[in-house]
Chain A
Amino acid sequence: MENLKTNAEITWCPGCGNFGIFTALRNAIPKLEAKGINREDIVITAGIGCHAKIFDYLNLSGLYGLHGRNSSNAEGIKISNPDLKVITFSGDGNGLGEGLAHTIFAAKRNQDITMILHNNGVYALTTGQFSPLTNQGWKGPSTPLGSFETPFNAISLLIEVGATFVARSYAGDIKHLTKTLIRAIEHEGFSFIEVLQPAMPYHKWEEYKDKIEYLSDEPKSKEEAIKIAHNAHRFTIGIFHQEIREAYHKSLYGSLNPVKESLSRDKRLEKIIEILKS
């Protein structure tokens, strides 16, 4: 494993599931480099929450955005310079609460970015309120009597709205997570990985370890994938769905790279004169 670490002080709780994601990603990057992806081309964005602290720790370029808006930042980066490989980190509250619309639209557009959704099932950094993925009955400071909303099913939701790679993995299985990350980042189009991870003040590793199950086969169609995602329990990990569909930037402008091939001032002025004549 490469270092890929900055000098920033790591402030995740000891034993936090985020360490697993941090490790798996640092495993994955040299392997992606071996497959021909340049490290300089990898750009990261993050929202706000415990997940996002990874931005400070990873020695990669990127944009540490606002709560919920990280996938929009990622989309803007990809659209402007499609040569870049963009990875966006999100929490369950960040990406499916505040940023739900942006997550869904990035998937709908099949924007060629990878979203890693750190699912700890709670708003950890803000002291344990229920999240869009928290099970009913959660007694947090905002739901003292227990939450009563039905959680989203992130996997079936993302398949339904158009993500072309949808997987679930687990921060406690670095090997599985590394492999899944590599496949997601290599995928051309919107790739989404929900990563199950405990948040230490609120969960125990044991609650996860006993429940993890592996998906036996990758479903063959979108319909089958949605059905399996519905029927499997929330600790089933594996790749649920992968399909090929043209990425957004290619539909938008073909093979152009707007920032690299930016038109010269003279050419622009010439064309403006033409427009004004017509």
Chain B
Amino acid sequence: MVHDVFTFLVGGKAGEGVKKAGSVAAHIFSSLGREVFQMDDYMSLIRGGHNFSVVSTSSHSITSHYMKANLVVNFDKRSCDTHINDVADKGIIIFNSDEQQNADGIGIPLSSEAEKYPMKKLMFGVGAVAILSSTIGMSKDQMNQNIKNQYPRGIEDNIKFADSIYDLVKGRCKNKYPLQRGYKERSIITGNDAISLGAIAGGLDTYFGYPMTPASSILHFLAKQAKNFGLAVVHAESELAVINMAIGAAFTGAKSMVGTSGGGFALMTEGISLAGITETPILCVLSMRPGPATGVPTYTEQADLNFALSAGHGDFLRIVASPGTVEDAYYLTAEMLDLVWKFQTPGILLTEKHLSESSMTIDLDIERAKWAEPKMHNGGNYKRYKDMDDGISPMLFPPSKEIIKWNSYEHDEIGITTESADMIAKMHNKRNKKLRKLIEHLKTQATVNIIRGEHPTNIFAYGSTYMSVLEALKYGGLNPTIVQPIYLSPLPVWELEEFINQDNIVIEQSVTGQFASLLKEKSDLNIRSVIKRYDGRAFDPIELSIKIKEELE
């Protein structure tokens, strides 16, 4: 494989510790100072089915998993059948010989070894870690230390079991893939962890959520950290409740965030519109999965872009931005929290399952996170919707002797309902002024990430597709320019002008090419072709590099 990428794939039934084995592998690689990208593929069920975890590692930067694995460990027959083509050149498959005979690869009697212990199949993950440890030439002592740290339940049995598996593998492929040490030991977090931490760093006080994959782990992370950070984290009865509670929270000055996926976001749009007219600072994380409707809950897509851009009835300012990497997710969430409070309007952090739930090694500059701070009223008679040159009225929160009225009806400056023609137009103009100010503000900061290449073609991608493109170009040794708009509304057309008449290719995960349409509509970009994937899976860097190469030739 190119560079020094090594990929470990482990597959089995839900409940057998597949994901955990993947994450232990990721930690082993990062403890070697290497960088890691882990993608978990799982079905929408609790027990059984087929899950797998792919962990790719390199001593240099890596921004995608590779579907061709050097080491494939299968717990059952279904995994063997599924991953028969996922083996890299000279890669090896290690399968459970108790579940299947005559498969290509090396059979290990995982089930009968595990049967010796009370936890039985629950130990398969430990077995996979033992196989990996042996294959990459790790000593037993090191392996046992990792198992102790990562599997605190039944340590003795786990170590005994791991030892026996290690020995069974040793004779056949010990030290087959010695891994070079990397340069720095880094933390590994998921995109949703990064979003949660970014929100906290930006000043989050309250989070409201309703479980929906792939956004649920934000709710879980924040609920777990609530006490540590003094947050109120609430699992409400529906996304309708979620958005309206968050708007109530913002009324008190609490920095609030909500998170969901397409279906839940559909319910929230009524509230997004309420935030528009009441000028409520509110940040909504929309983590996309394949739609329409229930779609494919545990997979990835980028087909809610148009929906996010126009979410909520009526004319009002929506800020939409999408992080390209897990690290960016941290900075951008804090930045968006700051922006929604600066401009008193709803913001949508648009992401996908692929970023939300994949894990990566990160090297964060924690201090770089923005801090949300609204413009405050400083004395005198208060008018919630005072008409200012930039459309941004100062804020004030209860308790106060001044009356603070936020209103879902069109209203006057005080916040009292109006049907006056003059006032309706005046308030529309007031809110509309914020766009000009926002663009002015965005022009002073990074809104598009551009990586210049030597090839005359430019590749446009947003969100986690950016990571896939980055890895594909590295794999293929290709060097077009990459253009990744971070902001999608307002689209930073001022940054895109130079590309309008050049040769441009768009890569995205939407069957109708929503991102390409947006670029054409807003910046009149000349687009030669659109590479799309819409089967719920993220792009594989090898496959994608072939497609890009064809387009570049």
Cα distance A102–B256 in the bound complex, in angstroms: 19
Q: B234, A8: Cβ atoms under 8 Å?
A: no
Among B205, B278, B402, B408, point to the contact of A258 (Cβ < 8 A): B205
Minimum CB–CB distance from B33 to chain A (whole Å) comes to 16
Cα distance A263–B403 in the bound complex, in angstroms: 27
Residue of chain B at shortest CB distance from A38: B399
Q: B248, A277: Cβ atoms under 8 Å?
A: no
Interface code B157-174, partner A: CB below 8 Å = 1, 0 otherwise?
Answer: 000000000000000000
Cα distance A25–B400 in the bound complex, in angstroms: 20
**Which residues of A lie under 8 Å from residue B415 when comparing CB positions?**
64
Q: Count B interface residues, CB 8 Å.
A: 63
**Which residues of B lie under 8 Å from residue A60 when comparing CB positions?**
403
Q: A268, B227: Cβ atoms under 8 Å?
A: no
Q: B244, A272: Cβ atoms under 8 Å?
A: no
Q: B200, A79: Cβ atoms under 8 Å?
A: no
**Which residues of A lie under 8 Å from residue B206 when comparing CB positions?**
76, 79-80, 258
Q: B405, A76: Cβ atoms under 8 Å?
A: no
Residue of chain B at shortest CB distance from A78: B248
B87 interface residue, CB < 8 Å from A? Answer: no
Minimum CB–CB distance from B529 to chain A (whole Å) comes to 41
Residue of chain B at shortest CB distance from A257: B230
Q: A84, B399: Cβ atoms under 8 Å?
A: yes
**Which residues of A lie under 8 Å from residue B362 when comparing CB positions?**
276
Among B236, B237, B247, B250, point to the contact of A65 (Cβ < 8 A): B247
Q: A66, B403: Cβ atoms under 8 Å?
A: no
Q: A275, B230: Cβ atoms under 8 Å?
A: no
Among A8, A66, A75, A268, point to the contact of B270 (Cβ < 8 A): A66
B187 interface residue, CB < 8 Å from A? Answer: yes
Among A63, A79, A265, point to the contact of B232 (Cβ < 8 A): A79
Q: Which of A80-108 contact B (CB under 8 A)?
A: 80-81, 83-84, 101-102, 105
Interface code B202-217, partner A: CB below 8 Å = 1, 0 otherwise?
Answer: 0101101000000000
Q: B247, A73: Cβ atoms under 8 Å?
A: yes
Interface code B267-278, partner A: CB below 8 Å = 1, 0 otherwise?
Answer: 000110010001
Given A252-B234, A275-B225, check contact A63 B248 (CB 8 Å): yes
B409 interface residue, CB < 8 Å from A? Answer: yes
Cα distance A275–B228 in the bound complex, in angstroms: 10
Minimum CB–CB distance from A86 to chain B (whole Å) comes to 9
Q: B208, A64: Cβ atoms under 8 Å?
A: no
Q: Which of A6, A40, A258 has the most B CB atoms < 10 Å from its CB?
A: A258
Given A8-B416, A265-B371, check contact A80 B203 (CB 8 Å): no
Minimum CB–CB distance from A70 to chain B (whole Å) comes to 8
Among A8, A61, A101, point to the contact of B238 (Cβ < 8 A): A101
Residue of chain B at shortest CB distance from A82: B232
Q: B401, A65: Cβ atoms under 8 Å?
A: no
Among B201, B208, B278, B402, point to the contact of A76 (Cβ < 8 A): B208
Q: A65, B274: Cβ atoms under 8 Å?
A: yes
Cα distance A101–B239 in the bound complex, in angstroms: 12
**Which residues of B lie under 8 Å from residue A8 when comparing CB positions?**
416-417
**Which residues of B lie under 8 Å from residue A56 when comparing CB positions?**
416-417
Residue of chain A at shortest CB distance from B228: A271
Chain B contact surface mostly: mixed
Q: A258, B230: Cβ atoms under 8 Å?
A: yes
Q: B227, A69: Cβ atoms under 8 Å?
A: no
Minimum CB–CB distance from B47 to chain A (whole Å) comes to 29
Given A74-B248, A84-B398, A265-B371, check contact A61 B241 (CB 8 Å): no
A145 interface residue, CB < 8 Å from B? Answer: no
Q: A271, B229: Cβ atoms under 8 Å?
A: yes
B306 interface residue, CB < 8 Å from A? Answer: no
Q: B226, A77: Cβ atoms under 8 Å?
A: no
Minimum CB–CB distance from A52 to chain B (whole Å) comes to 9
**Could you say which of A41-49, A121-129, A167-175, A187-195 contacts chain B?**
A41-49
Given A61-B404, A65-B408, check contact A76 B366 (CB 8 Å): no
A256 interface residue, CB < 8 Å from B? Answer: yes
Q: Which of A228-267 contact B (CB under 8 A)?
A: 249, 252-253, 256, 258-259, 261-263, 265
B257 interface residue, CB < 8 Å from A? Answer: no
Given A63-B251, A262-B203, A276-B364, check contact A79 B245 (CB 8 Å): yes
Given A64-B409, A79-B249, A275-B197, check contact A72 B232 (CB 8 Å): no
Residue of chain B at shortest CB distance from A61: B404
**Which residues of A lie under 8 Å from residue B200 when comparing CB positions?**
268, 272
B37 interface residue, CB < 8 Å from A? Answer: no
Among A41, A80, A249, A262, point to the contact of B248 (Cβ < 8 A): A80
Q: A77, B230: Cβ atoms under 8 Å?
A: no
Given A61-B400, A61-B404, A77-B249, check contact A262 B205 (CB 8 Å): yes
Among B228, B237, B278, point to the contact of A101 (Cβ < 8 A): B237
* B residues apposed to A, CB below 8 Å: 187, 189, 197, 200-201, 203, 205-206, 208, 225-232, 234, 236-238, 240-241, 244-256, 270-271, 274, 278, 362, 364, 366-367, 369, 371, 397-409, 414-417
Q: What are 12 inter-chain pairs, A to B, with CB distance below 8 A?
A: A55-B407, A56-B416, A66-B271, A73-B245, A80-B232, A81-B252, A102-B244, A105-B236, A249-B232, A262-B203, A269-B366, A272-B200
Given contacts A73-B247, A83-B399, A258-B205, 7 further A-B contacts (CB under 8 A): A48-B408, A64-B407, A69-B271, A81-B254, A253-B226, A262-B205, A269-B369
7 shortest A-B CB distances, which residue pairs?
A76-B248, A76-B245, A72-B244, A80-B254, A40-B399, A73-B248, A69-B244
